Structure 1
Amino acid sequence: MWHFVSTQCFLLCLAISALARGEQSIKRTVPNGFVTTRGGEFELDGSPFAFVGANSFWLPLLTTTEDVETTLQQMHGAGVKVLRTWGFNAINASELDGALQSNLTYYQARIRSLDAIWNNSDWSLNDGPQGLQRLDNVLKIAAKYDIRVILAFTNNWVGYGGMELYIDHVTPGASFHDVFYTNPRMIASYQRYVTTIVNRYKDSSVIFAWEMMNEARCLGDLPASSACSPGSGTLGKWYQEQSDFIRSLDPYHLITTGGEGQFYWKNPTNPTLASDYNFNGQAGEDFDFDLTLPNIDFASYHMYPQTWYPQLDFPGSDFSVEGWGLFWIDAHVAAAKKAGKPLILEEFGVTGLTNKTQIYPSWVEHALDTNHGIMPWQFGALGLTENGGNRLLKYTDALIDGASPNDGYAIYKNQTSVWNIFTYLLSLL
C-alpha cells in the first residue's frame, strides 16, 4: 500500500511514470488486503502478487460445509491463491420442484411463490440456506485459507442459468442471442442482479475481482444478429457500460470481462486468420480494444485449441495443439503489454492424461515466463462425503465416489504426473 502527502504531486509523478511505461491506467488506492494492479502486475498490500489459480464452478453447489472446507483445504495445500467460480445459479419454473427435491443451489428462479425470482419477467432474491447463503459460506471458508475469489455474474451459455434465461423471460420469443447486450429491460435486470452481488460482498477483501460474464459472445444457444457483426462494437460497448456501472457501485475491487480473448484483426499478417473465428471479430470481442476501457483492470482469456481446432495435429495441419497454444499466449501477452495491464490465462485445458502431461508444462511455463497468472480448468477435489460421495448436481455434473465433477479436464491429486506440473511451478512463485 502506498502512502503519500501531496495528492497532486503523487498523481503527476505517477502519470509521468505510467506514460514512460506505456500504461493506460493509474493505480487506485485500495483498502488493506484488496488486490490491485500496477502496470502489468497485480499487487497485494504494495507487494507483487503472482499466482497459479483454480476454477471450480461447482463449489457453491456443494450442500455441506464439510465438503466446501475439504475442497478449499485441498486448494490451499496445492498452493492455490485465487479461485474462480460462478456468482450465479438460476433456474426456471419447470426446474423448481426438482431443485427443491435435489437440494440444488439456486439464486434466481421463475416460480409462482413469493420467494421467486423471474417474477413478472424479473426476479426476487433467494438468499436463504439453499441460495446465496451457500456462496456466503464459500467466501467465508476461502478467506480462512487465504484464497481470493473471482466471481462471474452470468454465463454466455445455458449452463446454470446464463444470459438466455434472461432473454427467455424478459423478451420471450427473441430470435437472437445478442439482444441481451442492447435491450434496456435486459440490461436493467442484469444490473439489478449485479447490484445485489456487489453490495453483498464489496467490503470483502476475499473478492479478487468481479467478472461481467463467462465467455461473452455474439452467439450462444441462439444465433447472432447482424447488429453484432465484426466491427459493430456491440459487445465492446456493453463491456464499457457494465464495467462503468460496476465501478460506480464499488471503487476498489478489480473488474474484468471474463471473455475468451478473441481478437478483431482487420488485416492480419497471416491471411488464414482473416477467416478464423478467434481473430476476425465474428465472436464479438475485440481483445485489443476491450483492454483500453478504463474500468477493465486486467485482461482475461481462455484457451481450448484441442476443441476449437479439431483438425490440429492431423496430417496437413499448420500447427500442433501445443504450438497453437503458445501462439495464442504470445498474442495476448503482446496485447496486454501494449495496454499496460496484467493478464490471466483464466481457463485452459486439453483432454487425455498423455496430452496433459506433454502439453501443460510448455503452456504453463511459457505463461509464467511472460509474467501472467494461470488458472487451469478445472480443480479436482477428492474425499467429498455428501450423500455418500455420490450425487448428481445438474446436467451430467456429479460427485462420483467422492470426486468432484469431471468433464475430462479436471486435475486430481492422484493424477500425480499432471498434479506435479502445477505444484512444482507453484513452488517457484
Structure 2
Amino acid sequence: MKSLTLFTLGLTLLSKVVYSLDFVKRCGDQFVLNDKIFYFTGSNTYYLHYKDIDYGTPKVFEIAKKHNFSVIRTWAFMDQAYTQGNVYYTSFNNVTREIEVNEGENGLQRLDRVIALAEEHGIRLILTLTNNWADFGGMEQWVRDFGFKEHYQFYTEPEIKKSFKKYIKTLINRTNTVTGKKYKNDGTIFAWELANEPRCWGTNMGKNENCTTKTITKWLDEMSTFIKKHDKKHMVSTGEEGFGLAGVDSENDIYGFGDGNDFIANAALKNIDFATIHLYASYWGFKDFVKEGRQYFEEHAKAIKKLNKPIIMEEFGVPKDKLEEVQPAYMQSLVDNGYNGIMYWMLAHDEYPDYDGFTIYDKNITVYIDDYTKIQKSKSGKKISSLKCLLKNLETKGDHKNN
C-alpha cells in the first residue's frame, strides 16, 4: 500500500513538472517566451468553467492544441444571480455588504480545473475578471447588489472597488487544487484582463453624463496598479474594443469617445502591458466589411506602435454568409499589420450550439485559420536577451499615471 501511494504521488508530481508553462512577458512592442519573440493565434471560449466541464472543456483544448493555438481567452467571473448549472464564483452578502467568493467545488475549483487542462495541453489563458454586459454577472450586477443605479458607479463607488479588489486578490493568491500552484506563480495564465469591453453604458443601464473617458481610464489605472502590486509576474490588459481614436478619416462613430473609451490613454497606462481591440462589423454598421475592417486594424496598429507596446486582436466575429470573403481578408490584414496575437470569436466543441452565428468549429479552422497560425509561428523564435528587453521596456513612450 505504501509503495502504491508513493508511486501515485510520483506520477502526480511528474505531471506537474511535465506540463509547467513558462511566463510570457512583454519586451517593448513584442511578447517574449523563454527569451524568444512570441507571436500567436488563438480564440475565445467563454463557457469552459461551467458547461460540460468533464467532456466539452477537454474537447475545446484538444481542438485548440490540434490547430496549434497558443492562447485561449475565457471568463474568470460568474455571479450567483446568473448561476449556470449551479456554478458561481461570487455572491452578495446583504448583511456585510460585501462580495463573497465561492471557492468550493461549484466555484473556483472549476476554474482550477480549466487552468490545469490548459496547462496539460500547452495552452495559456487570458482570464477576464468582469463583464461590461449582463451575461454571467458583471458590472451591472455589482452595481445593483450595492444598491446603486448607474453603470458608471462600478468604476467610481469606493465599496464596489474595494470588493472587486478583494475578488482579484483572492484569485491572485489562490492555490490551484489540481496543480498545487498559486495562480500568481502559474505561467499558464497569459494575462489578467480587467474587463470584457468596458464602456460607460451596459446591457440594462444607460450612459450617465458623469461618466467620461477619464472615468474609465482612472479605473483601469487603479485596478492594473493593484494587480501589479500583488502579482509582479503576469501581464495585465484592459479588454477594451479600441473605441476612442482621434484623427481617423471615417464617418463611423466607433472612433469617437462617446462610449467612454480613449484607446491611447488606456493603452499608455504604466501597468497595462498590451493593447486589445475587438471588431464586429455587422453590429457596428460597416458598409464595406473588408475595407472598413482593414482600416480599423491599420489605424490601431499604427497608433500602438507609437507607444512601443504589443497589440492583440482579441475578438472578432464574421457572419456565416460573409465568412468566405471576409475572414481571410481580416486574417491577412492582421498579419500584415504586425498584430502580436490574433484571436477570433469563437471556438467551441462540435456539440455546442452556435448561439451568436460567429462560431468557427474544428473542421472550419483548417479552412480559415490554420494558414495564418503558421505565419504567426514563423515570425516567432528570434532570440532576444533579458537585458535588451529591459532596455526596450524603458523606451516605452506614453506611459503615465492617470490624473
**TM-score between the two structures when normalised by the length of structure 2:** 0.82
State the 1:423 CA deviation: 1.2
Determine helix, strand or coil for the equivalent of 2:101: coil
1:223 to 193, 206, 223: 206
**Cross-structure match for 1:420:** 367
Cα distance in 2 between the residues matched to 1:171 and 1:332: 38
Distance 1:322 1:41 in 2: 27
Residue number among 327, 333, 345 corresponding to 2:295 in the alignment = 327
Instruction: Note the C-alpha offset of 1:405.
Output: 4.8
Give the superposition deviation at 1:59.
1.0
Give the equivalent residue in structure 1 for 2:155: 181
Pairing 1:253-332 to 2, within 5 Å after superposition: 253-265=234-246, 268=247, 270=249, 273=251, 276-309=252-285, 312-313=286-287, 320-332=288-300
CA deviations on 1:89-136 (whole Å, 9 max, x unpaired) are 1122xx6xxx4xx733211134xxxxxx56643222211111111110
Percent identical: 32
CA–CA distance in 2 between the matches of 1:204 and 1:169?
A: 32
Equivalence for 2:85 = 103
Take 2:248 and 2:297, find their aligned partners in 1: how far apart are those partners? 17
Q: Is the 8 A contact 2:75 2:128 kept in 1?
A: yes
Distance 1:137 1:269 in 2: 44
Aligned residue type for 2:208: S
Structure 2 distance, partners of 1:134, 1:159, is 18
Q: After TM superposition, give the deviation of residue 360 of structure 1 in Å.
A: 0.8
- Answer yes or no: is the 8 Å Cα contact 1:209–1:254 preserved in 2: yes
Give the partner amino acid of 2:122.
D
1:47-80 per-position Cα deviation (integer Å, ceiling 9, x unaligned)? 0111001100011112433332222111100111
Residue 349 (structure 1) aligned with residue 321 (structure 2): no
Give the distance between the partners of 1:344 and 1:307, measured in 2 at CA: 20
Counterpart amino acid of residue 289 in structure 1:
A
Alignment partner of 1:240 is 2:208: no
Deviation (angstroms), 1:427: 2.4
Q: Distance in 2 between matches of 1:179 and 1:364?
A: 37
SS at match of 2:190: strand
CA distance in 1, matches of 2:28, 2:160: 34
Q: Residue 31 of structure 2 corresponds to which residue in structure 1? A: 42
- Within the candidate set 53, 62, 72, 1:64 is matched to 53
- Residue 366 of structure 1, aligned match among 333, 336, 358: 333
Aligned-residue RMSD, C-alpha: 1.8
Match of 1:336 among 281, 304, 309: 304
Conserved? CA contact 2:60–2:347, under 8 Å: no
Letter in 1 for 2:234: H
- The one-letter code sitting in structure 2 at the alignment partner of 1:421 is Y
> Taking CA–CA contacts closer than 8 Å with sequence separation of 6 or more, which of the two structures ends up with the larger relative contact order?
2
1:203: which partner in 2? Answer: 185
Unmatched 5+ stretches in structure 1: 1-30, 111-116, 314-319, 383-401
Deviation for aligned residue 1:355: 0.6
Moved over 6 A (4+): none
Task: Give yes or no for contact 1:299–1:344 (8 Å, CA) kept in 2.
Answer: yes
Displacement of 1:356: 1.0
- Note the alpha carbon deviations across 1:342-374, whole angstroms, 9 max, x for none: 00000001212x311110111111111222111
CA distance in 1, matches of 2:360, 2:366: 7
Deviation at 1:32, TM superposition (A): 7.7
Task: State how far apart, in whole Å, the 2-side matches of 1:118 and 1:108 are.
Answer: 13
Aligned amino acid, residue 259 of structure 1: E
Closer/same/farther in 2, CA of residues 64 and 118 from structure 1, 3 Å limit: farther
| Deviation for aligned residue 1:404 | 5.0
Question: Which deviates the most, 64-73 or 83-92?
Answer: 64-73
CA distance in 2, matches of 1:368, 1:413: 21
CA contact (8 A) 2:142 2:160 kept: yes
Question: Following the alignment from structure 1 to structure 2, what is the Cα–Cα distance between the partners of residues 255 and 269?
Answer: 27
Quick one: which of 212, 232, 238 aligns to 2:194? Answer: 212
- The answer for the alignment partner of 1:156 in structure 2 is 132
Q: Does the CA contact (< 8 Å) of 2:89 and 2:102 recur in 1? A: yes
Asked if structure 2 preserves the Cα contact closer than 8 Å seen for 1:65 and 1:137, the reply is: no
Distance 1:146 1:379 in 2: 17
Paired residues of 2:151 and 2:200 also in contact (CA < 8 A): yes
Q: What TM-score, normalized to structure 1?
A: 0.77
Deviation per CA, 1:278-304, whole angstroms, max 9, x where unpaired? 222111111111121111000001001
Measure the CA separation in 2 of the matches of 1:118 and 1:57: 29
Q: Residue deviations 1:388-418, cap 9 Å, x none? A: xxxxxxxxxxxxxx2355320000123x3x6
Deviation of 1:237 after TM superposition, in Å, equals 0.8
Alpha-carbon separation, structure 1, partners of 2:53 and 2:153:
38
In structure 1, the partner of 2:343 is: 375
3-state SS, counterpart of residue 344 of structure 1: strand
Distance 2:63 2:152 in 1: 39
Report deviation, 1:306: 1.4
Amino acid corresponding to residue 44 of structure 1 in structure 2: L
User: Do the aligned residues in 1 keep the contact of 2:50 with 2:87 (CA within 8 Å)?
Assistant: yes
When residues 118 and 215 of structure 1 are mapped into structure 2, their CA distance, relative to the original with a 3 A threshold, is: farther
Separation in 2, partners of 1:228, 1:139: 35
Matched, 1:77 2:60: no
Look up the SS of the partner of 1:375 in the other structure. Answer: strand
